[in-house]
Chain A
Amino acid sequence: MTRHRGRGIASINYPIGMNLGGDPSQALVHSNPSGKFTVALSSIDLGQGMKSVTRQICAETLGVPVEDVYVDTADSDTGPHCMGSFASRGTHRVGNAVMAAAREARGVMMEAAAEELEVNAADLETDGRGNIHVKGAPHRSISTKDVAIAAQFKQGKTISGRGIFLVPLSAVDPETGEMSPATCYAHACLVAEVDVDDETGEVAMVRMDSAYELGRALNPRLVEQQLVGGAWMGISHALYETTEPVYPEPLHGPRDFVEYLMPGPGDICPHDIAVLERPAPDGPFGAKGPGEMCANPVLPAVANAIFNAVGVHIDDLPITPEKVLRAIKAQGGARPQARR
């Protein structure tokens, strides 16, 4: 038995959102008399951090502390419409909608503050700590809480804002097939290193190195978490997970985690990640979305690494030990390629 080391590379251009039918998301922002703000969304946070990021975007746009913003998500009965979080569009699409809504709410808040301070709203600025003051005269100040109370009980104003971000439908040209399915792309490159055992067909991950260009990372720790975890979803699709044999008869498909395999803590390998921040022109504060693209380049990179290790090209996923062994047998033995 010999274990062969191989290295494979893959690159990806990933569209953030898809406007094949038009791609809108809405957000509503309003203040409570306490001076705290609520963002209402129908978009769902599955743990990927949508609530954290939209909260940051709203707070930054309003000019208030992040603690003063509450994000209420995932009730499509009461929230404004969203196309869905899907896998990558949340930060970009929903973030833009939140930004628009927060901008409108900020306008009303500044008008209400101007009325209380008896100045022009254009002369006011927020300090990011919950106060609004006259530019260059910090003592001429009012708290956002007092502005909210004045708006609600004295001025009869709602400090609120509506936001929508729509990328209109891009139809396919019937002659050329040309279209513009997305307005914003993220990019990445990933190198995977594997060991392939030519007796058992097993593939073990040795290490991964990747570079992701995803606009500005609004919450760097959440981005890192997504890239670290998502890569293993990619490995899982590349090497382990399958619902086969489900066609034509589902009776023999996997029914539990003994048959439906996923990587365990013992299967992981080091993964060095470089995040390159090039702000996107149409992203909220320059953000794109790292969601789904962190899983995708792993699959071709692993397939290429297996080719580099033993000379077999397997284009049917997942790349199970059986497929590796059959392919090695068919070509008459492992043929390690040039080390790269």
Chain B
Amino acid sequence: MSKIPLQFRHNGRDVAIFVDGGTNLLVALRELIGDMTPKFGCGQGGCGTCSVLIDGELHLSCLTLAETVAGRSIETLDGMKQGLNLHPLQRAFADHFAAQCGYCTPGMLMAAKSLLDRNPSPSRDEVVEAISGNICRCTGYEPIINAILAAAGGRASA
């Protein structure tokens, strides 16, 4: 099978890779770019832990063909921290014990960032809706919801 050349922006940096036809974005990011922050959970769009932002919009990277992101801008958890500092959402997740085993955390953070980027002060229902595509086994969601609301509150008052 011939390889397809592919260029896109990855966390603000231009990258160029060769992918096999049919390769999904999750595999391209993890195996070809070396960004291990999007996780493989179910591989069929049921768990949300592979979530990334494509041109600012939340997508499941396991269900996205890599070749469809040519020329577009991909954000992953790896690009979330601001210099040496954690993003306010990451800080809030740590402060609110919103991660236990941590496997859902990258997807939760991307879903939360996608929400706060378009709606800086969401209601609790809007937070629940925003992470409803993400499954968490450990936390019971409550600490995650509280962390996102706290990050939004902190941002609003800042």
A residues bordering B, Cβ < 8 Å?
46-48, 221-222, 224-225, 228-233, 256-258, 262-266, 268, 271
Whole-angstrom distance between the Cβ of B49 and the nearest chain A Cβ = 11
**Alpha-carbon separation in the docked complex, A258 to B68 (Å):** 26
* Interchain CB contact under 8 A, B100 and A231: no
* Interchain CB contact under 8 A, B99 and A47: yes
* Interchain CB contact under 8 A, A46 and B101: yes
* Interchain CB contact under 8 A, B137 and A233: yes
- Report B83-139 residues with CB < 8 Å from chain A CB: 97, 99-102, 128-129, 131-132, 134-139
* Interchain CB contact under 8 A, A265 and B145: yes
Collect the chain B residues with CB atoms within 8 Å of residue A229's CB.
100, 138-140, 143
* Interchain CB contact under 8 A, A257 and B47: yes
- Report B137-158 residues with CB < 8 Å from chain A CB: 137-145
Cβ-neighbour of A257 out of B42, B132, B141, B145 (below 8 A)? B42
Whole-angstrom distance between the Cβ of B67 and the nearest chain A Cβ = 25
Whole-angstrom distance between the Cβ of A121 and the nearest chain B Cβ = 40
* Interchain CB contact under 8 A, A265 and B141: yes
**Alpha-carbon separation in the docked complex, A222 to B100 (Å):** 9
Cβ-neighbour of B138 out of A47, A224, A264, A265 (below 8 A)? A47
Q: A262-B135, A265-B131 are in contact. Are A228 and B42 (CB under 8 A)?
A: no
The binding surface of chain B is classed by DSSP as: loop
Cβ-closest 7 pairs across A and B = A257-B46, A232-B140, A47-B101, A47-B100, A229-B140, A225-B97, A265-B141
Cβ-neighbour of A256 out of B44, B99, B138, B140 (below 8 A)? B44
Whole-angstrom distance between the Cβ of B150 and the nearest chain A Cβ = 14
Whole-angstrom distance between the Cβ of A332 and the nearest chain B Cβ = 37
Cβ-neighbour of B141 out of A46, A47, A224, A268 (below 8 A)? A268
* Interchain CB contact under 8 A, B139 and A228: yes
In the complex, the chain B residue whose C-beta lies closest to that of A49 is B100
* Interchain CB contact under 8 A, A271 and B142: yes
* Interchain CB contact under 8 A, B102 and A258: no
In the complex, the chain A residue whose C-beta lies closest to that of B101 is A47
Q: Given known contacts A229-B138, A262-B137, what 15 new A-B pairs fall within 8 Å (CB)?
A: A221-B97, A222-B97, A224-B97, A225-B97, A225-B100, A225-B139, A229-B100, A229-B143, A230-B140, A233-B140, A257-B46, A258-B46, A266-B128, A266-B132, A271-B142
Collect the chain B residues with CB atoms within 8 Å of residue A266's CB.
128-129, 132
Whole-angstrom distance between the Cβ of B21 and the nearest chain A Cβ = 25
Interface centre among B102, B128, B131, B138 (most CB of A within 10 A): B138
Collect the chain A residues with CB atoms within 8 Å of residue B44's CB.
256
Collect the chain B residues with CB atoms within 8 Å of residue A222's CB.
97
Query: Can you list 28 A-B pairs with a CB-CB distance of less than 8 A?
Result: A47-B99, A47-B100, A47-B102, A47-B138, A221-B97, A225-B139, A225-B143, A228-B142, A229-B138, A229-B143, A230-B140, A232-B141, A233-B137, A233-B140, A256-B44, A256-B46, A257-B42, A257-B47, A258-B46, A262-B135, A262-B137, A263-B141, A264-B132, A265-B131, A265-B141, A268-B140, A268-B142, A271-B140
Interface centre among B128, B135, B139, B142 (most CB of A within 10 A): B142
* Interchain CB contact under 8 A, B42 and A256: yes
Whole-angstrom distance between the Cβ of B94 and the nearest chain A Cβ = 11
* Interchain CB contact under 8 A, A265 and B46: no
Whole-angstrom distance between the Cβ of A62 and the nearest chain B Cβ = 26
Q: A47-B99, A47-B100, A222-B97 are in contact. Are A231 and B140 (CB under 8 A)?
A: yes
Whole-angstrom distance between the Cβ of B112 and the nearest chain A Cβ = 11
**Alpha-carbon separation in the docked complex, A264 to B47 (Å):** 10
In the complex, the chain B residue whose C-beta lies closest to that of A233 is B137
Collect the chain A residues with CB atoms within 8 Å of residue B138's CB.
47, 229
**Alpha-carbon separation in the docked complex, A192 to B138 (Å):** 20
Cβ-neighbour of B135 out of A224, A225, A230, A264 (below 8 A)? A264
**Alpha-carbon separation in the docked complex, A264 to B111 (Å):** 14
Collect the chain B residues with CB atoms within 8 Å of residue A257's CB.
42, 46-47, 135
Interface centre among B129, B132, B136, B141 (most CB of A within 10 A): B141
Collect the chain A residues with CB atoms within 8 Å of residue B132's CB.
264-266
Whole-angstrom distance between the Cβ of B37 and the nearest chain A Cβ = 17
**Alpha-carbon separation in the docked complex, A282 to B34 (Å):** 48
Collect the chain B residues with CB atoms within 8 Å of residue A258's CB.
46
Whole-angstrom distance between the Cβ of A175 and the nearest chain B Cβ = 44
Whole-angstrom distance between the Cβ of A150 and the nearest chain B Cβ = 36
**Alpha-carbon separation in the docked complex, A200 to B93 (Å):** 37
Cβ-neighbour of A265 out of B99, B102, B144 (below 8 A)? B144
Collect the chain B residues with CB atoms within 8 Å of residue A232's CB.
140-141
**Alpha-carbon separation in the docked complex, A17 to B46 (Å):** 35
